[in-house]
Amino acid sequence: MIRLVIVILVVNLGLFACSSAPQRNESATNDTKASNPGPETQANSNKPSNWEPSIEQLQKAVPPELLKQSDCAIEEDVAMKPESGHGQAPLKVTFDAGASKSICGKMIVGWVWDFGDGAKAKGPRVRHTYITPGTYVATVSMTDNRGYKNLARLEHTVTVIEARSSQHNGNSSNLLKQGTRR
């Protein structure tokens, strides 16, 4: 988790050109400085396009306050009912983030939900009704008493399908009976 956040932060800050490919040693020697230049020489080097910085280089490049945010991020734990997140419109869904944990603070003090359909709500446990058929992604932003947040928000997918028509009223069985009379 920490490595993922560091890489995302460093890439977003534009400090390194990272790729998902493994590191390669372009030279036949064991000179890692030549094949993995540090941030001070990267801009001037002719490094391969798949060059990746080491964890040590990333940790040196990221400000300590950002590392602290990563270490103290709230652990998100959300229960959703119905658990499948699937049903007919109108679909009532309950989201409960009460089991989430504050790592460095005493307690979570703020919850802001985005239901993916333009509606928002506040609180650890909320209920929302989805009216229109479609697929929605609900997320929650949480803050603890020391200001730490859940950095990697989980996506809770809700799929709403059209309600079945209830206009049978026994007419279909009457039509069948009428069609079979002679």
- Taking only the tens place, the pLDDT of each residue in 38-92 is 444 445 456 677 888 888 888 788 777 777 778 889 999 999 999 999 999 999 9
- CA distances from residue 86 to 12, 51, 80, 116, 158 in whole angstroms, order as listed: 35, 43, 11, 15, 6
Query: Can you spell out the DSSP letters for 39-52?
Result: HHHHTTS---TT--
Phi-psi region of 113 (alpha: psi -120 to 50; beta: other; left: phi over 0): beta
pTM over 0.95: no
- Domains of the chain, start order: 2-69 (no CATH), 79-161 (2.60.40.10)
- Quick one: which of 28, 72, 32 has its CA closest to 51? 32
